[in-house]
Homo-oligomer: A and B are copies of this chain.
């Protein structure tokens, strides 16, 4: 019995509709079609993507199941108002203010803690494999002394995805992209945060999370994620203070804590 089920790289050929879903979803996320507006007709989409109407319809059904679009017979398919767009205005004006960034990070903490707990309960084999894969990718990059930021992001994203609740992933994307690059991809002081020790510490925390999720223990997963993000929050604060201290000293006064 050659059981190929344990093969980790389950690279089945993507269905056509999935590629169409991905493409349209990307367009929507990029805001190319504002909420409330009409998508191209099924006929136009068939020409655009070069597939049959069957495939287009299947893709639209999936998007509708995710609540991204809403078909109306005789009228067309319309983009629904969505969480990300609600945060569009919210996210737009919180540019560089550090205190704002900390607050947003705190919201993200709430999201991720809960998603870790849900992931522990609901993840399927493929999703668990994706989390593991991100973990090992982090490991590999760490050994190669390459930037681990993307793998770190992928790790958190895989967990959000394992909740089987698309909004968690969307929230993470919106909050993460806008305010805080995950842990290490800080726009300033790149060397400081990328020390091996620092990233080793991250990996240790990641491992605890991964184990809890694999074990299907939601409380442990939440606790591990809380510890991880709490630590990240603390590190983030320290860096902010260090930077502020630098600016302060370079002007005139060194302000105390």
| A residues in contact (CB < 8 Å) with B | 17, 57-58, 61-62, 64-67, 80-83, 86-88, 90-92, 96-97, 99-100, 103-104, 106-107, 109-111, 113-115, 118, 121-122, 124-125, 164-168, 170-171, 174-175, 178
Q: Report how far A170 CA is from B67 CA in the complex, Å.
A: 18
Smallest Cβ-Cβ distance to A86: which chain B residue = B174
Chain B residues, CB < 8 A from A113: 110, 114
Q: Contact at A174–B90, with CB atoms within 8 Å?
A: yes
Q: Contact at B96–A170, with CB atoms within 8 Å?
A: no
Q: Which listed residue (B164, B168, B175) contacts A67, Cβ 8 A?
A: B164
Smallest Cβ-Cβ distance to A216: which chain B residue = B86
Beyond contacts A67-B97, A86-B174: 16 other A-B pairs, Cβ-Cβ < 8 A, are A61-B62, A65-B96, A65-B99, A67-B96, A67-B100, A81-B124, A83-B107, A83-B164, A83-B174, A86-B122, A87-B121, A87-B174, A91-B122, A106-B118, A109-B114, A110-B168
